[in-house]
Amino acid sequence: MHVTVLLQEAVAALVVKPGGIYVDGTFGRGGHSRLILSRLNEAGRLIAFDKDPDAISAGEAIKDPRFCIKHGSFLQMPSMLRAMAVSRIDGVLLDLGVSSPQLEEASRGFSFRFTGPLDMRMDTSQGLTAAEWLASVTETDLARVIRDYGEERFARQIARKIVEERMRQPIVTTSALAEIVASVVRSREHQRENKQHPATRTFQAIRVHLNRELEELSLTLPQCPDLLNLGGRLVAISFHSLEDRMVKRFMRTAADADVLPRGLPLREKEVRRLSRQKLKLIGRAVRPEKQEIIINARARSAVMRVAERISTGED
């Protein structure tokens, strides 16, 4: 069963206007979308996106004229909105990472907790599986991916071991990969430091790389402010430090006005007009309450950040 993380907090942060137009950039199993719909009136509209065909099937079960779901990445949001004759929206929600159904279904290959085929694709209709990628990637590139996307300090040793083992037999299951990584990262010191399975970081790194998660996020974030009406909100929920760092830096940069000469007799609205400031930060980073983490352990790493579209010289 999928439990939506920061459900009430995220929808409250959007400040849903009954007649507004909103985007759920990562539908998942629709927890956020259903709550947003409950706050819209007949004039309101919600457009959802997801790369996962299973999520699309779940979304198509929602029979509501105010709602539609599109198969694709949130990176395609501007072009898809234009095709729907939507020029501006009142809020966009990005709930990043993998969903519980993806992790819990062995056939998807996202988790080392279950033995299954090494797939890891969010969109199972296209792209290389993890097994196919591991069969051909160079040791250097593999080490780079594990280091950069998994922040794994044993990246070189893990990559070397994977390349050695694939020469003996193809690595095609989650348990096979997990055992290979564990044979390298087995020191008591490492497990005591991290309190997690030795393969956690490697699985994350391969998944992030195969699905272009950070690349798509880095290209999507700069497009969001220009899609928002004044007062519209961007809400992003991250589940690991690389995502959160990217969201945090983007929001801070978009909220920083160009430095103007000191002492100028300007009102606040004039300062904004002369700067390129597009967003203002709303509150501090929000993390799940203890009770939510008890109910849903996956929530423990979640971080939500919120920014609001403000006037600029272009508006």
Query: Can you give the C-alpha Rg of the chain in angstroms?
Result: 21
**Contact (Cβ atoms closer than 8 angstroms) between residue 11 and residue 39:** yes
Q: What are phi and psi of 287, to 5 degrees?
A: -120, 155
CA–CA separation, 89 and 47 (whole Å) = 10
Q: Which helix (H) or strand (E) holds 9?
A: helix 7-14
CA–CA separation, 313 and 132 (whole Å) = 50
Inter-CA distances, 195 with 190, 239, 243, Å: 8, 17, 21
Q: Tell whether residue 32 is among the known ligand binding residues.
A: yes
CA–CA separation, 80 and 74 (whole Å) = 9
Inter-CA distances, 174 with 3, 6, 78, 200, Å: 24, 29, 36, 12
Q: Tell whether residue 74 is among the known ligand binding residues.
A: yes
Q: Tell whether residue 31 is among the known ligand binding residues.
A: yes
Inter-CA distances, 132 with 83, 109, 171, 180, Å: 35, 13, 9, 17
- How many other C-beta atoms lie within 10 A of the C-beta of residue 80? 18
**Within the chain, what is the greatest distance between any pair of CA atoms?**
74
- Residues at the annotated binding site? 30-32, 50, 74, 95, 102
- Residues at the annotated binding site for S-adenosyl-L-methionine? 30-32, 50, 74, 95, 102
